[in-house]
Structures are given as structure tokens and as C-alpha cells.
A and B are shown apart, each in its own frame.
Chain A
Amino acid sequence: MATILVVDDSTTMRQMVAFTLSSAGHDVTEAPDGNKALATARQKRFDLVITDVNMPGMNGIDLVQSLRALPECKFIPILVLTTEAGSELKQKGKSAGATGWIVKPFNPEVLLDTLKKVLD
């Protein structure tokens, strides 16, 4: 199963995502904001990153850009999981290098299906 980094400033949301992914057998690492996520990504290799957009410090779009700048994260899938559904922000995420965009609240089955698609 995959090693996944989950980035969200909301503890509840982070735990919900981690619960869903762990139930499916994935190895999940959590980070509360973009800066800590970036530090974690430098120390450990991940198969996938799931990040929120609105976070204190570094937001999700900036995090995607920063992760793409890292050689070890250049080609891994990065999913944005957010309440924002505006096309302009989506375009920003796409330009920053995000692989997909999921609008909260997520359905666990849909999230796992999406993961399977991007990991395959």
C-alpha cells in the first residue's frame, strides 16, 4: 500500500482523511500546515500528498509549488482537498502542479477510488 502525506490545519479533517486511508491499508503521515509538510517531505519519501488550500503560514497552492520544486516530489501525485470549488483557484492549483482537486466534504469511497486512479 502507499505512503501518503496528509496536510490540513483542521485536526478533525486530518483525522478523517487519515482514518479513511488507514482503513484501506495505507501508511499515513499528518502535517498541520504547509511549512511542516514541506519539512516532512524533505525527510521522508511519499507516494502521494493530499493537501488543503486554506492553511496558516503556507497555503496549499504554495505548498504544491514548493513540493514540485523538490526533486523527490517532482513526479508524485498531489491531490488538493478543499472546500473551495472556484474554477479560478482550481486553475491556480493546476498551474502549481496539482494532480487533482477534490471538494470537501469528501465521500471516503470516492476518495479511495481517486487515490487508486492516481496511484495506478
Chain B
Amino acid sequence: MKQLRFKIYAYRNRLVPMFALLMVPWIAVAPWAPWWVLSISIPLLFICAWLLLLHVLPNPPAARRSSDDRKVGDADIARMRRSADQDAQQLLARWASMTRDSKLQLEEVDQHVTEVMTHAESAVIEIGRRFVEVTRKTRKQVELAVGLLSRTGSEEQATDSLTDYINKSDTLLKDLGQQLLALGEQLAVLAAKQEAVREDSKRIDGALDQLAGLASQIRVLALDSSRRGSSDNRAFVEMTDRVRDLSMNADESSRAIRRTLEDIKSQASSTDAAIRSLAQQARDAGRRSNQQVAELTGATLTKMQEVNAALGEIGDLGERIQADINQIVIELQFQDITQQKLQRLKQPMLTELASSWLSMFEETRAFNSRLSKGEKPELQPAHFRVSRKGGAEPEKAKAEPAAAASSGPRRDDDNKVELF
């Protein structure tokens, strides 16, 4: 049946005219033929067609060609022609096999290309995702830094930043300075009052000197009066006048001293009140300052802890950004490695395919040439390398890139570095 199929295929162009040629005489006589002739001729017609197909159509099985060697007998020529038929069938089978294998190879390349495209797509998606992450983290870093160091945040953040605490400390120190200046002025007033008291003390000293002088004069008068005794009344009267004058002077000095003492008492009282007031103010100011400084220090420490936490977060974000960038670098490498491997796979495979087709073409042409010359075609052994899946084996070196590409680049970091 295989041989019949081959002949039908080989003589397909002659089948229709041949059948028509057979049918013409039968159709010509059929209308006038009796039924029994028809019943015999129709099967005979098909039997003749069958015999013709099997034994007549081969081109020509017994006839000799002008190019045939005259020394070779008809039987040998027929055998050689049959051998040529078998070779032709082998060639066709190999063509079919090579076509099928080429199709498989091209499908394999297509599969690798699809894998590469899928990988490239996933790599691009991963890179994009990482890039978005990097952007988001960088933005958060910037926001944290701005929140810490500037007033461009929201109102709530603006009144609670480290800068505000530093400004508050500055204001507090300025207030403290003002209060110290006021205290100094008040101390100057007190110093003036003490100077006035010193002046009053000098006046008292003068009055006391006057009183001492008066006492001395009175003592002299007393001695003089006891010496003169009863000498005369005139002298006694004179002495009495002088004593009266002295007494009046002493009285005047006493009043002056009293007034001075009253002034001193008043100034001392005023100074004491001023000192008490000043001391109270100083205590109040100190207490307030202490309280404010304590509050500010506590708030600043809290803020410093927040700053440290924020700086730590900024540092963590920086490390995560670095990790994302590293991952982007790795993904780009995967992309590049896969492309390179695909290139290494594609080029030898297509070259191999083209050389196989060329080889088959040359072989077929030589076969055809020899066949047309009536020579015995000698098929070369199958030297082409088409398929790795059946048929001839591919060269090892060319198979390696394909295997590498199909396995894809490795993603683990183990044993990737080796120092000699």
C-alpha cells in the first residue's frame, strides 16, 4: 500500500487524463451495450485501471533510456530504478522528519522567546514597583527631615518643632536677662538710699559733736559757777543766760538728731521694704525661670527623642532604599543575562537550521540530477543535525546555551563568590 500511495502521489498529474482515456471507449459504447456487457465491462474497467496503475505507469519500468548503460540488463536497470524509488522515499521521509524537527526547534525557540518576554515583563514590573517604593520612601524621608528642621509643615507641626523649642529657650533667656537688668536698677536705687542714710549718719555725727561741745561748755560753766559761788548775782545771771542758751542749743540739736533719726528710720524702713520686695521678686522670677527651664528642658528632651527616632527612621528608610536599589540592579542584570542567553541560543540554532535545510536541498538536487541522468543515486549518510529530540544529535556546544536559557539565571546568592 505504501508503494501504491507513492505511485499515486508521483503520477498524480497523469491520473485524470489516464482515467479519462480509459473511460472514453467504454462511454462511447455504453448506451448500446446490453446489460450483461455492462456488468462485465465495469469491473473489467476497474481491474484494467488497477493493472495499469501498478505495472504500466512506472516510468517506464522495462523500457531503457538512451543514457542507460547497454551492458546492464533490463532486470538490473529495473532493480536499480526500484532502488532509486526507495531512495527517493527515504529522502522524502527525511525531508518530512527534518521539517517536523525544524518545527519543533522553532517551537522551542518560540517558547524561549516567550519565557524571556515573560521574564522581561516581570522584571520591568518588579523594577517599577521597587522604583515606586524608593520614591515613596525618599519622600517620607524628606517629609521627616522637613518636619524636624523647618516650619513648612502643618500649623500643629510648626509650633512643635525643634526650632520652636530653641526659640522658646532664647525668649526665656532674654526674659531672664531683662529681669536681671530690672533687679540691677532696683539695687542701684537701694544703693542711693543707703548713700542717703550715710549722709544722715554724718549729720547725726555733727549733731552729736555739737551736743558734746554743749556738754563740755555746761561742765565748764558748772565749774566756773562753783568757783565764783556767791561773788555776785550779776555773774550768776550771766551764767544762767549762757546755760539757757546752751540748753536751747542742746534742745535744738536733740530735735535735729530726732528728725535725722526719723529720716533714717523712714529710709531704713523704705530700704527694707524695697529689699524684701526685691528679694520676693527675685525669688518669684527664679522660681518661674526654674519652672520654665524645667518644662523647656523636658520638652526639648522629648523633642530630641523624637528627633532621634525620626533620624533612626530616616536611616532605616535609607537602608531600605539601598536594598530596593540593589534589587533593581539585580533585576536589570537578570534581564540582561536572559537576553544574552537568548541571543546565544538563537544564533546557533538558526544557523544550524539553515545549514540543515541547505544540506538537504543540495542532497535532493544531486539526487534529482542523478535520477534524471539515469544514474544510480547514492544517498549520503545523514550528516545533518536538525533535532535534539530524535534523529541526529546536535553538537554539544550548541546545546549548552539552550539548556542555560531554558533553565534561566539563578536567583540564589549561595556559592556565588569564590576567592582563589
Contacts and interface: CB of A to CB of B under 8 A. Distances in A.
Contacts of A19: 329
A80 to B, nearest CB: 9
A8 to B, nearest CB: 9
A16 B337 contact: no
Contact of B417 (A16, A20, A101, A105): A101
Given A12-B336, A13-B336, A118 B409 contact: no
Interface residues of B, number: 24
A57 to B, nearest CB: 16
B322 to A, nearest CB: 8
B335 A12 contact: yes
B308 interface: no
Contact of A99 (B325, B416, B420): B420
A13 to B, nearest CB: 5
Given A90-B418, A94-B420, A98-B420, A13 B333 contact: yes
A110 interface: yes
Contact of A83 (B326, B409, B418, B419): B409
B329 A16 contact: yes
B398 to A, nearest CB: 14
A107 B409 contact: no
A103 B333 contact: no
B419 A105 contact: no
B410 interface: yes
B330 A105 contact: yes
Contacts of A54: 340, 344
B118 to A, nearest CB: 18
Contact of A105 (B334, B341, B344): B334
A25 to B, nearest CB: 14
Contact of A108 (B326, B404, B411, B418): B326
Contacts of B156: none
Contacts of B340: 10, 54, 83
Interface string B391-420: 000000000000010000111010111111
B332 interface: yes
A93 B418 CA distance: 11
A109 B334 CA distance: 17
Contacts of B329: 16, 19-20, 108
Nearest to A16: B329
B334 to A, nearest CB: 6
B337 A83 contact: yes
A106 B334 CA distance: 10
B301 to A, nearest CB: 36
Interface in B189-241: none
Interface in A13-41: 13, 16, 19-20
Contacts of B334: 105
Given A10-B340, A104-B409, A105-B330, A110 B417 contact: yes
A38 to B, nearest CB: 21
Contacts of A101: 417-420
Nearest to A97: B420
Interface in A65-99: 83, 85, 90, 93-94, 98-99
Interface string B48-60: 0000000000000
A83 B343 CA distance: 14
A114 B419 contact: yes
A5 B410 CA distance: 26
Contacts of B417: 100-103, 110, 114
Contact of A104 (B325, B326, B337, B415): B337
Contacts of B330: 105-108
Contact of B420 (A100, A108, A117): A100
A37 to B, nearest CB: 18
Nearest to A108: B326
Given A100-B418, A101-B420, 12 more contacts: A10-B336, A10-B340, A83-B409, A85-B415, A94-B420, A103-B415, A103-B417, A105-B337, A105-B411, A108-B330, A114-B419, A118-B419
Interface of B: 325-326, 329-330, 332-337, 340-341, 344, 404, 409-411, 413, 415-420
25 contacts: A12-B333, A16-B336, A20-B329, A54-B340, A54-B344, A83-B340, A83-B341, A93-B420, A100-B418, A101-B417, A101-B419, A101-B420, A102-B416, A102-B417, A103-B417, A104-B333, A105-B333, A105-B334, A107-B326, A108-B325, A108-B329, A108-B330, A110-B413, A114-B417, A118-B419
In the A-B complex, the 4 residue pairs with the closest CB atoms = A105-B333, A12-B336, A100-B419, A103-B416
